[in-house]
Amino acid sequence: MKRSIEEELRRWKDDPLRMPLLIRGARQVGKSFTVEKFGRENFDQIVTINFELQSSLKDCFRNLDPKIIVSEIELALKVDIQPGKTLLFLDEIQFCPEAIVSLRYFKELMGDLHVIAAGSLLEFALVDKMISFRVFSIQCFFFL
């Protein structure tokens, strides 16, 4: 099934000024499926972290520096994350508020890495942890 969001994702990928992408939407509407499919079709590699299933990887986000985060992910998952070739997909991000906060630093400190995060009920995580974002630090899509 082809979705209109796929064209938006391709535009996002090719935008030299792209920001980390946060996809929000209800549960079970195809967010993860669509991002995984997009990653397989448009990158050499997709590295997926599902915070609901892989809670131990939350520790990679103790530090807000994306270079340290990526290094710890590479070590934990035994992968090589290469900007421009790898899509880093942070799924069920509502289970790791530190990862939500880290998104704003990926644009500033590692802008060449493609990062997509997805989650449902994010409003609760954002309000509960009093998380806010600087203007132009992340881009949000609402998935319906």
Q: What is the pLDDT of residues 59-100, one digit of tens each?
A: 999 999 999 999 999 999 999 999 999 999 999 999 999 999
Q: CA separation (Å) from 75 to 72, 80, 107, 135?
A: 5, 9, 22, 32
Q: Domain 5-143, what fold?
A: Rossmann fold (3.40.50)
The whole-model pTM stands at 0.85
In this predicted structure, the answer to whether residue 6 has a pLDDT above a threshold of 60 is yes
Q: How confident is the model at residue 46 (pLDDT cuts 50, 70, 90)?
A: very high
Q: CA distances (Å), 84 to each of 14, 45, 51, 91, 99, in order?
A: 10, 10, 24, 20, 21
**Residue ranges per domain, the chain?**
5-143
Burial of 6 per CB tally in 10 Å (0-12, 13-18, 19+): middle
